Structure formats: structure tokens, C-alpha cells
Amino acid sequence: MVKLTKSHSTISRNKLLGIAGLGWAFDAMDVGILSFVIAALAIDWNLTPSEMGWIGSINSIGMVVGALVFGSIADKIGRKNVFMLTLIIFSLASGLSAFTTTLVAFMILRFFVGAGLGGELPVASTLVSESVEAKERGRVVVLLESFWAVGWLVAALISYFVIPEYGWRVALILTALPAFYAIYLRLKLPDSPQFSAKKELTQSIGQNMRNVWSKKYAKATIMLWVVWFMVVFSYYGMFLWLPSVMVMKGFSLIKSFEYVLIMTIAQLPGYFSAAWIIEKVGRKFVLATYLLGTALSALIFGNADTTVVLLISGIFLSFFNLGAWGALYAYTPEQYPTIIRATGTGMAAAAGRVGGVLGPLLVGSLVAAKIDIGIVFGIFCIAIVIGVLAVIFLGKETKQIELE
């Protein structure tokens, strides 16, 4: 067990949070902009609902590969090195996707965007978890996640002001360029003190993966895989389709962007409230409560028949869902010891990203089959409740415990 030294003070913690968070925000900008770009591409390229679903899913297929590969590598070569590599892959592929002229080329690049993003997120949460004291670890990781809401908010603003006037290509370039600044900032970032102390004990990637499923950690792994799958399945199914769903409900493209922007603002208080209470009441309570709030909001949103109900339920959907995401990222690395922490976190995230592949595809196929959108959101409601049951019955509380 590694105690953090005085060198890892409040200042270094805040610096780490800022640098990691900035990259996290740029990642969110790209994922956030994709939901708006899909709606614009559908018009520009005359896409079918099935093709629209595949754009979101190919991104998630990349994230499955990225989370699995880079999470495992991070337990071999260190958190910082993978942190850098994934952001470079993500940034280059994101920028190049703005210049594509065919759906196939766009989707190939979106795969690499997803691989970079899928690898970065679990490694970032692992790095931050290992670099702060137990008494504030959960709060700091949730605050790291809150940068996701900032990125989404900027993406919504760019979509509202840029896409209608200048097109989706300019919007993608605007989201890709700042990520290169985050790469520069990360050059001087220290690696995790826990990994540095244990790196001579590193094992093979295959051994690490087997250990994640050893008797000691199998229950935690099952719980995480179920929760991650259900949360990511519902999140990408709902949020990547949000602007398009608004259009289906009769709003213009610009008006739908405006409403989604309002809903996106609610993500920030969702994160901050979760960060505030997670060290007071624990991970399990926050995760289960915020997921139940997400399930109820999804059910109401899918069946909303007035603008007021649509907006209010959409606001609560963003609030609860993103608060739950913050708690999940705090909770996951705490299930494993240092030598397999990034592997276990990456594998759980990869299991979740499989859900991210299926979610948008399911919406696309159901919309194409003229299934009512209320039924679609009802499916996501049920999925989230299954995740809640897994947390309650299989999860252990990890509030303020020292990491192994």
C-alpha cells in the first residue's frame, strides 16, 4: 500500500485534475459533437436510420478495442505513457474525419477516434485514483468526470452556432485542434506514484487479465461488467440520438440543438452534486440513486407529449445520468490492486463499450421499423434498473478505503 507524500500536495492534485480534465473535456467535445454531426450528416448524405446508428456504433467498437488494449498496456508501461498515446491517436483521427467525403472513410476514422478515447478514459481515472488521498479520491475522480459536461456543453454551443452556418466539417476541426494543446500539457505530468512503486512487480498482460477473473475479484468483475454494459448501452443509445429524437418529435434541427444545449447544462450540477455527496454517503448509494433517477427520467422523456415535459425530463436525464457516470468512474478502479487496476478498469469499460455498440444500432433499427420512441426509451429504463440491482446485490462499499 503506497502512502502519498507531501510532494503530492493540493497544488499537484489540482494540476493533475486540470491537465487530465482538460483532455477529458476535449474528448467529450468530440463525442458530444458527433450526436449533432450525425443529425447534420443525415441531411447532407441522405443517411438511413440504420446508417446513422452505425456511425455511433463504430465509435463504440473502437472504444471496446481501445479500453481493452490500452487498459492492459497501462499496467505494463505506465499510466502516463498510455495517457499520451491515446490522446495523440484520438486527436489525429478526429481532425482527419472532418475532411472525409464518404461514409466508409468517416467511419474508419471514427473507429480510431473511439480507440483513443476508449483507452484514455479508464487510464485517466486510474491515474487520478492512484494520485490522491483516500479521503478525497472519490470526489476528485467525479470532478475529473465533470469536465466531460464542460466538453459536451462546448460541443452543444459549437453545434448551435457553427453547424447551421458553417457546416459539420468546421465543427469537427474546432473540436480536434484544442486536443493537441492537451498533449503538450501532459508532457511534464508525473506518472502514478502507486504504479511507480510497484512497476517492478508487473506481470504479463495475459496474467493480469486472468487475475481480474480470479476468485478474489470475480464478484466485483461481474458487477462492474453488468453495470458498465447497462450504463453505456443506455447512454449512447439515448444521448447520441438526442438531437435526432428531437427532430423526430417535430422540432427543427436548430430548435433541437437549442433544447439539447439546455439539457446539457444540467450535466454540471449532476456531477457536482455527486462529487459533494460521494464521500459522505458512499459510492453504492450515489450510483444506485442516480441510476434510478436516470431510469425514471428516460421513461418520462420517451413518452413526453409536450415541450415542457420533454425539456424538464431531458434536464433530469442529463443531471442523473452524468452524476452516475462520475460515481462509476470513481468506483471502478477501487475494485482492484495496483498491478491489475488499469487492466480491470479497462476490461470493465470494454464490456461497457459493447453496450455502446448495440445501443445506437438498436435505436436505428427500431426507428426504421417505426417503433414508438417511448418503447425505445422504456428499454433503456429497464437496462438501467438491471445495473442498479447489480450494484446493490454484488457491489461492496469502497468509500475512503486505502487502495491495495
> Residue 245 has what pLDDT?
75
**Does the pLDDT value for residue 8 go beyond 70?**
no
What is the topology classification, in CATH, of domain 10-193+205-394?
Answer: Growth Hormone; Chain: A; (1.20.1250)
Most confident of 47-51, 176-180, 281-285: 281-285
Cα Rg of the chain (Å, integer): 20
Mean pLDDT, range 55-82, rounded to an integer: 88
Mean pLDDT, range 159-164, rounded to an integer: 86
Picking from 14, 17, 29, the residue whose alpha carbon sits closest to that of residue 179 is: 29
> Residue 121 has what pLDDT?
86
Q: Length of the chain in residues, anyone?
A: 404
> Residue 1 has what pLDDT?
43
> Residue 39 has what pLDDT?
82
Mean pLDDT, range 153-163, rounded to an integer: 85
Q: Which residue has the higher pLDDT, 341 or 247?
A: 341
Cα separation of 318 and 298, whole Å? 10
> Residue 323 has what pLDDT?
92
Mean pLDDT, range 259-273, rounded to an integer: 85
**Does the pLDDT value for residue 30 go beyond 60?**
yes
Question: Which single residue is written with the C-alpha cell 485514483?
Answer: 129
Cα separation of 368 and 50, whole Å? 7
> Residue 192 has what pLDDT?
78
* In the chain, domain spans: 10-193+205-394
Confidence of residue 2 (pLDDT cuts 50, 70, 90): very low
Q: How is residue 96 written as a grid cell?
A: 482527419
How open is the CA angle 385-386-390, to the nearest 5 degrees? 115
Average pLDDT, the chain: 86
Looking at this protein, which amino acid is placed at residue 75? D
pLDDT for 191-233, tens place per residue?
777 777 766 677 888 999 999 999 999 999 999 999 999 999 9
CA distances from 251 to 243, 245, 259, 307, 404 (A): 9, 9, 9, 10, 52
> Residue 251 has what pLDDT?
75
Contacting residues for 370 by C-beta, under 8 A, at least 6 apart: none
Most confident of 49-63, 143-157, 193-207, 288-302: 288-302
Confidence of residue 396 (pLDDT cuts 50, 70, 90): very high
Lowest mean pLDDT among 198-212, 246-260, 297-311: 246-260
3-state secondary structure the chain: CCCCCCCCCHHHHHHHHHHHHHHHHHHHHHHHHHHHHHHHHHHHCCCCHHHHHHHHHHHHHHHHHHHHHHHHHHHHHCHHHHHHHHHHHHHHHHHHHCCCCCHHHHHHHHHHHHHHHHHHHHHHHHHHHCCCCHHHHHHHHHHHHHHHHHHHHHHHHHHHHCHHHHCHHHHHHHHHHHHHHHHHHHCCCCCCHHHHHHHHHCCCHHHHHHHHCCCCCHHHHHHHHHHHHHHHHHHHHHHCCHHHHHHHCCCCHHHHHHHHHHHHHCHHHHHHHHHHHHHHHCHHHHHHHHHHHHHHHHHHHHCCCCHHHHHHHHHHHHHHHHHHHHHHHHHCHHHCCHHHHHHHHHHHHHHHHHHHHHHHHHHHHHHHCCCCHHHHHHHHHHHHHHHHHHHHHHCCCCCCCCCC
Confidence of residue 395 (pLDDT cuts 50, 70, 90): very high
In percent, the amount of the chain with pLDDT more than 70 equals 96
Contacting residues for 227 by C-beta, under 8 A, at least 6 apart: 287, 328, 387, 390, 391, 395
> Residue 188 has what pLDDT?
73
Confidence of residue 11 (pLDDT cuts 50, 70, 90): low
pLDDT for 104-134, tens place per residue?
999 999 999 999 988 988 888 888 888 888 8
pLDDT for 327-365, tens place per residue?
999 999 999 998 899 999 999 999 998 998 888 888 888
Q: How is residue 170 written as a grid cell?
A: 468546421
Contacting residues for 130 by C-beta, under 8 A, at least 6 apart: 2, 79, 192, 193, 194, 195, 333, 338, 341, 403
Confidence of residue 386 (pLDDT cuts 50, 70, 90): very high
